[in-house]
């Protein structure tokens, strides 16, 4: 592990976070018809003297078809916020809406359906099912979605594997794939249910820079080609150039919104 006090990527991220840029609340007001609205979301873990305020008063809006970054150092609340957006975690207060649906008002059953039908997740470690091949890892998702035939699922899986450069790897188990290939399978899996929102948490954390760039470039290409709305959590500012806008988060506060070109300069 890199010593966090001596990590050049983290240092660069910290200084990038000092920049100006618009306030997320002002920015959100300028995007009234955005697909995703996060309003005053707060998340507190624990209680009493063990209480941790992981996210406070987060307000942001992301348009349909946009690919944005959520950039901040380790412990800043990125995973917490993206988990709330994807309906994996309930906020302590505040509201998340996707289209005209209030995610924060859903019961358990509605949340399960929302995640299965409208959200694709890609996690830091690809989290593939170890005893299923690359292709089977994609097809597994479609078995959870209503209304997709076996033939449609096979076609979609093969199309995605081809776009992601994985056709020759389709029959390999995760352990027979490189780290970058596993993340590409995870991207394919996230797109199998034709989601509205693609939520990606530190996709390059386990990859070297070249592999990381390749994965994020593919991710951008897929999100744009399919008209999805993507949010990528990262603490690596080298990856923000592939996104349309950057939301910066520090100690649970969204501090400002920037163009990727403004980061690190």
Ligand X SMILES: Nc1ncnc2c1ncn2[C@@H]1O[C@H](COP(=O)(O)OP(=O)(O)O)[C@@H](O)[C@H]1O
Q: Which spans of this chain sit near Mg ion (rule: CB under 5 A)?
A: 79
Nearer to ligand X, 43 or 228 (CB): 43
- Binds 52, which of Mg ion, ligand X, none (CB < 5 to 8 A, cut-off by type)? ligand X
Site string for ligand X, 78-107 (x = CB under 6 A): xxx---------------------------
Closest CA to 219 of 254, 175, 187, 256: 187
Shortest Å, Cβ 170 to Mg ion: 30
Nearer to Mg ion, 120 or 193 (CB): 120
**5-13, 73-81, 104-112, 192-200 -> range binding ligand X (CB under 6 A):** 73-81
In degrees and rounded to multiples of 5, residue 248 shows phi and psi of -105, 140
Q: How far from each other are the two terminal CA atoms of the chain, in whole angstroms?
A: 27
Nearer to Mg ion, 79 or 193 (CB): 79
Tokens linked to 173 = 């188990």
Nearer to ligand X, 72 or 188 (CB): 72
In contact, 190 and 203? CB cutoff 8 Å: no
Nearer to ligand X, 15 or 143 (CB): 15
72 binds ligand X, rule: CB under 6 A: yes
Q: What is the side-by-side order of every strand in the sheet holding 36-45?
A: 52-62, 36-45, 93-98, 101-102
Question: Distance (Å, rounded) from C-alpha 101 to C-alpha 112?
Answer: 14
4 binds ligand X, rule: CB under 6 A: no
Closest CA to 254 of 81, 61, 79, 58: 58
- Binds 77, which of Mg ion, ligand X, none (CB < 5 to 8 A, cut-off by type)? ligand X
Question: Distance (Å, rounded) from C-alpha 138 to C-alpha 142?
Answer: 7
Angle between the N-to-C axes of helices 134-142 and 150-163, in degrees from 0 to 180, rounded to the nearest 10: 140
**77-85, 168-176, 179-187, 256-264 -> range binding ligand X (CB under 6 A):** 77-85
- Binds 24, which of Mg ion, ligand X, none (CB < 5 to 8 A, cut-off by type)? none
Angle between the N-to-C axes of helices 209-225 and 179-191, in degrees from 0 to 180, rounded to the nearest 10: 20
46 binds ligand X, rule: CB under 6 A: yes
State the residues that interact with ligand X by CB under 6 A.
45-46, 52, 54, 72, 74-80
């Amino acid at each position: 592990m890199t010593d966090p006090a001596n990590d050049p990527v983290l240092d660069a991220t910290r200084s990038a976070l000092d920049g100006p840029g618009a306030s997320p609340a002002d920015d959100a007001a300028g995007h009234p018809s955005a697909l995703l609205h996060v309003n005053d979301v707060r998340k507190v873990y624990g209680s009493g003297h063990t209480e941790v305020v992981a996210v406070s008063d987060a307000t942001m809006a992301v348009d349909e078809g946009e690919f944005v970054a959520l950039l901040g150092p380790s412990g800043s609340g990125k995973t917490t916020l993206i988990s709330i957006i994807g309906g994996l975690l309930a906020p302590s207060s505040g509201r998340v809406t996707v289209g005209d649906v209030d995610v924060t008002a859903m019961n358990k059953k509605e949340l399960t359906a929302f995640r299965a039908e409208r959200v694709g997740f890609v996690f830091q470690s690809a989290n593939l099912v170890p005893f299923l091949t690359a292709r089977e890892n994609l097809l597994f998702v479609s078995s959870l979605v209503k209304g997709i035939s076996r033939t449609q699922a096979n076609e979609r899986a093969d199309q995605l594997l081809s776009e992601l450069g994985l056709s020759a790897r389709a029959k390999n188990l995760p352990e027979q794939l490189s780290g970058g290939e596993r993340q590409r399978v995870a991207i394919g899996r996230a797109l199998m249910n034709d989601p509205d929102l693609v939520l990606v948490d530190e996709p390059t954390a386990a990859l070297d820079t070249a592999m990381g760039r390749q994965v994020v470039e593919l991710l951008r290409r897929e999100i744009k080609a399919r008209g999805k709305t993507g949010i990528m959590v990262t603490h690596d500012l080298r990856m923000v150039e592939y996104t349309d806008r950057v939301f910066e988060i520090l100690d649970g506060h969204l501090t400002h919104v920037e163009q990727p070109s403004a980061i690190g300069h």
